[in-house]
Amino acid sequence: MEEEENKEVHMKPSFNFFSIFTLIIFLFTPSNSNSTTVDHSLSPYVNYLIDCGSSTKTQLTDGRIFKSDRETTSFLSTTEDIQISVDSININLPPSLPSSSLPLYQTARVFTEQSSYTFYISKTGRLWIRLYFFPIPNPSYNLTGFVFSVYTDHFVLLHEFSHSNNNSLLFKEYLVNVSDTRFSLKFIPKKKSFAFINAIEIVSAPDTLISDSATQVSPLGEFEGLTKSALQVSYRINVGGPTITPDGDTLSRTWEPDGSYNIFPQGSSNVSVPNKRIKYPQDSVVTVTPLIAPNSVYASGVQMKESRLLQPDFNLSWMVNVERSYSYLIRMHFCDIVSKILDQLYFNVYINGIEVVEALDLSSETKALSTAVYKDFVLGSCNITNGSILIQVGPTYLQQSTTNAILNGFEVMKMSNGANSLDGFFSVDGKYKGPSVTSNIMKIVAIVGLVLAVISLLLLVVMYIRWLKRPLDWKERRGFSSWLLPLCPKSKKSCSANANAFDSPKNKHGGHDVHHSPRGTGRFFHFIELQRATDNFDEKRVIGYGGFGKVYLGTLDDGTNVAVKRGGGGSEQGINEFRTELKMLSKLRHRHLVSLIGFCDENSEMVLVYDYMSNGPFRSHLYNSNFSPLSWQKRLEICIGAARGLHYLHTGNCYNLHYQTEEDSSHMNNNYNLIEKNSLDFILIDKRLLMNT
């Protein structure tokens, strides 16, 4: 009997030890099936939830409790205590905002001057900053007209922000890396304006949520330094699935459906599996847990429709609108919930038309089906040209791959710029750190300068070409204006311009350095032209004489006969007479006066060129028997024409002319019209001088 009792006593410890050992083995033995049931809930080290302007706590349907203003006065530094509220809000909520947050918009706190909330941070790292804005109606304060900024200690969240739409609820969500034990959130009204806030969340984020590195889109490579950037959540999309509210997310996030962003729904086919089928890899290089995204994100997705229904050459595409001057972090969530076996699904990934992953093999990433994985990409501001981001997945057409692609979700987050700002280019110290206006002006000046330089270069090329094609006698012409700048029709051999010959200084040869006629004096002739026209002033071509010199019959290159009056010398008196006649004839225009065709002021020569009166002087027709007698009718017409010419000379111009009219001074043209010849044998008096005396 004693032996049995002793045996029983010794057996109990043995049994207890075995039971404990078995229990330990059971608890610590890994199992694939319980990977989906591991508790990944997060108890944040920092968790400040404030319902601003509320006198009582506010508990949302997702279980979160927001403290009242009275309970959080120790965090706030402000000069006035202004709280406003409404009983209810009747507004349709946007897809990105859960209905559970509606009570937070019914109250608000108003700041008349710069105010701040200061929080103690028990553990540094990334913080969620969630701000709620709605300009609730109030008889004393018009919140729709408020303009203000919201800063942290190092980052600008909002700069001169205004929420003027009183039919819209606004929710801003940020991720900011905090390295101090004190964190301040500042509200700074613009001058003569106020600021307001409805609710605030300051909650710590998991250390593994955002790593420091990602894949850079262009140029393709590794991007590092994400921890230095503040992030603003622009989009959080549950592809192929419904809205996920904060109570269905491990970090109280909201995921909206992709329907309004899918730009090719005709080629898309939604697919889903039960949430419990989703596994998270335990030995992955990149940590993937439900904190990254809940299993409901990975349990739904969009795949390509069957190729027999559509042409297989297309991509699944989603487009979101963004601001051009910022870079963006794009996180894409994948989970192969469509394949039956491994190594069947390969597809390409594109961002803004740039291939960022070729032949993505989810099997090699996860070593299992229905297992979550994500990819991070950084898209620089220079790759955003039309204010949007295009996300695409498409088939690779590998032999071992099925023609398919899948996407389960994606997030788009704006990155802070060089001013540490998520809204503009002003830093927290008020300094502008964006593109300078001066640099823009310098760019414009540089462009204008470049255009002028090109034009100048083209002009130089044209001048060089004209130089190569210059006439052989250009030296005789003593200038290059005649061959460099042809300003008259090609049918003429020389050109006229605006230079005043008789006002130009003499050159070393005694002539005038002018090759263009003064305004109204007709064509300028080079002396060599007149030499050709008169056979080098042959005496046989002399048709008359005058006090100024001989008159020659000349024939121009185009066959026109002209009267060429050549001055008799280079004396000062002759020059003055030449100037006087040229100046006078430039003013006289009448059908009964000889017309001046042009002049030459070259090589100390003074030459006038007139119309040639082919029928000679009137006297020859009166006394020379070689001409047919003139009828009395014709003689009367000639006298009337002479009278009209004389009348014009005395009354139709600005000069008083005193000279002797003889029968030799009147010539007849081809139509037997009397044309009064003008010579230098007269006195020229300006009427205007007479009027002043």
Tell me what pLDDT residue 282 has. Answer: 79
Contact 494, 482 (CB under 8 A): yes
Q: Are 223 and 194 in the same domain?
A: no
Q: Are 160 and 278 in the same domain?
A: no
**596 or 163, greater pLDDT:** 163
Q: Are 197 and 217 in the same domain?
A: no
Tokens of 468: 């190569």
Compute the Cα dihedral for 146, 147, 153, 154 and give only its sign: positive
Q: Kindly list the strands in the beta sheet with 76-77, ordered across the sheet, starting from the edge strand earlier in the chain.
A: 76-77, 115-120, 182-189, 148-151, 156-161
Q: Which pLDDT band, with edges at 50, 70 and 90, does 571 fall under?
A: low
> Which residues are CB-neighbours of 489 under 8 A, at least 6 positions away?
none
User: Does residue 471 form part of some domain?
Assistant: no
Contact 54, 109 (CB under 8 A): no
User: Does residue 12 form part of some domain?
Assistant: no
Query: Which run of H or of E encompasses 675?
Result: strand 674-676
Tell me what pLDDT residue 229 has. Answer: 96
Contact 373, 365 (CB under 8 A): yes
Q: Are 55 and 167 in the same domain?
A: yes
Tokens of 686: 């300006």
Q: Are 190 and 274 in the same domain?
A: no
Give the HSE-up count for residue 280: Cα atoms under 13 Å, Cβ half-sphere. 20
pLDDT at 657 exceeding the cut of 50: yes
Count of positions (residues) in the chain: 693
3-state SS, residue 105? helix
For the chain, the first-to-last Cα distance in angstroms comes to: 170
Query: Which run of H or of E encompasses 540?
Result: none
Tell me what pLDDT residue 4 has. Answer: 40
Tell me what pLDDT residue 653 has. Answer: 58
579-592 pLDDT, tens digit per residue, is 777 777 767 777 77
Q: Which pLDDT band, with edges at 50, 70 and 90, does 503 fall under?
A: very low
Contact 335, 278 (CB under 8 A): yes
Tokens 């109280």, residue?
Answer: 252
Q: Which pLDDT band, with edges at 50, 70 and 90, does 365 fall under?
A: confident
Q: Are 229 and 185 in the same domain?
A: no
Q: Are 644 and 690 in the same domain?
A: yes
> Which residues are CB-neighbours of 580 under 8 A, at least 6 positions away?
680, 684
Tokens 């402000």, residue?
Answer: 78
pLDDT at 300 exceeding the cut of 50: yes
Tell me what pLDDT residue 315 has. Answer: 93
Q: What average pLDDT does the chain have?
A: 80
Tell me what pLDDT residue 402 has. Answer: 82
CATH number (domain holding residue 665): 3.30.200.20
Tokens 């699944």, residue?
Answer: 316
User: What is the three-state SS of 47-85?
Assistant: EEEEECCCCCCEECCCCCEEECCHHHHHHEECCCCEEEE
Q: How far is CA 635 from CA 617, 630, 641, 642, in A?
A: 14, 6, 10, 10
Distance of alpha carbon 72 from alpha carbon 17, whole angstroms: 53
Query: Residue 621: is it exposed, middle or buried by C-beta count within 10 angstroms (0-12/13-18/19+)?
Result: buried
Segment 639-661 mean pLDDT: 68
Tell me what pLDDT residue 157 has. Answer: 98
Contact 238, 407 (CB under 8 A): no
564, β-bridge pairs: 552, 609
Strands 65-66 and 607-611: unpaired
Tell me what pLDDT residue 23 has. Answer: 38
Distance of alpha carbon 597 from alpha carbon 141, whole angstroms: 87
Q: How far is CA 550 from CA 40, 200, 475, 537, 546, in A?
A: 120, 108, 28, 10, 6
**465 or 586, greater pLDDT:** 465
Tell me what pLDDT residue 672 has. Answer: 46
**399 or 371, greater pLDDT:** 371
Q: Are 523 and 379 in the same domain?
A: no
> Which residues are CB-neighbours of 508 under 8 A, at least 6 positions away?
none
Tell me what pLDDT residue 686 has. Answer: 35
User: Does residue 299 form part of some domain?
Assistant: yes
555, β-bridge pairs: 561
148-193 pLDDT, tens digit per residue, is 999 999 999 999 999 988 889 999 999 999 999 999 999 999 999 9
Rg (CA), the chain: 50
Helical residues (DSSP H) of 385-526, grouped into ranges: 437-468, 481-484
Q: Are 520 and 648 in the same domain?
A: yes
pLDDT at 366 exceeding the cut of 80: yes
245-279 pLDDT, tens digit per residue, is 999 998 999 999 999 999 999 999 999 999 999 99
Name the least confident of 55-59, 337-341, 554-558, 603-607. 603-607
Query: Which domain does 66 fall in, by range?
Result: 47-204
Distance of alpha carbon 280 from alpha carbon 286, whole angstroms: 11
User: Does residue 41 form part of some domain?
Assistant: no
Tell me what pLDDT residue 12 has. Answer: 36
In 10 A of CB 465, how many CB atoms?
9
> Please, what's the b/e burial string for 197-223 (b: 16 or more CB within 10 A of its CB; e: otherwise)?
bbbbbbbbbbeebbeeebbbbeeeeeb
Which domain-ending residue is among 185, 204, 223?
A: 204
The amino acid occupying position 597 is: I
Q: Which pLDDT band, with edges at 50, 70 and 90, does 288 fall under?
A: very high
pLDDT at 332 exceeding the cut of 80: yes
**308 or 53, greater pLDDT:** 53
CATH number (domain holding residue 404): 2.60.120.430
Which domain-ending residue is among 170, 204, 238?
A: 204
Name the least confident of 68-82, 116-130, 248-262, 560-574. 560-574
Distance of alpha carbon 112 from alpha carbon 135, whole angstroms: 15
Tokens of 247: 């109570």
Q: Are 193 and 220 in the same domain?
A: no
Q: Are 240 and 303 in the same domain?
A: yes
410-450 pLDDT, tens digit per residue, is 999 999 999 999 999 999 999 998 877 666 677 788 889 89
In 10 A of CB 98, how many CB atoms?
23
Distance of alpha carbon 649 from alpha carbon 658, whole angstroms: 10
Give the HSE-up count for residue 272: Cα atoms under 13 Å, Cβ half-sphere. 13
466-479 pLDDT, tens digit per residue, is 777 766 555 544 44
Q: Are 154 and 230 in the same domain?
A: no
Tell me what pLDDT residue 75 has. Answer: 96
181-211 pLDDT, tens digit per residue, is 999 999 999 999 999 999 999 999 999 999 9
Contact 405, 313 (CB under 8 A): no
3-state SS, residue 4? helix
Contact 481, 465 (CB under 8 A): no
Distance of alpha carbon 396 from alpha carbon 392, whole angstroms: 13
In percent, the amount of the chain with pLDDT more than 70 equals: 76
DSSP codes, 574-603: HHHHHHHHHHHHTT---TTBPPEEEEE--T
**Number of domains observed in the structure of the chain:** 3
User: Does residue 384 form part of some domain?
Assistant: yes
User: Does residue 434 form part of some domain?
Assistant: no
Helical residues (DSSP H) of 344-387, grouped into ranges: 362-366
pLDDT at 504 exceeding the cut of 90: no
> Which residues are CB-neighbours of 74 under 8 A, at least 6 positions away?
none
Distance of alpha carbon 413 from alpha carbon 650, whole angstroms: 93
Tokens 């605006």, residue?
Answer: 498
Tokens of 165: 């739409």
User: Does residue 406 form part of some domain?
Assistant: yes
Tell me what pLDDT residue 688 has. Answer: 31
Distance of alpha carbon 584 from alpha carbon 678, whole angstroms: 10
Tokens 């005038």, residue?
Answer: 512
Distance of alpha carbon 416 from alpha carbon 327, whole angstroms: 8
Which domain-ending residue is among 397, 415, 433?
A: 415
Contact 548, 565 (CB under 8 A): yes
User: Does residue 460 form part of some domain?
Assistant: no
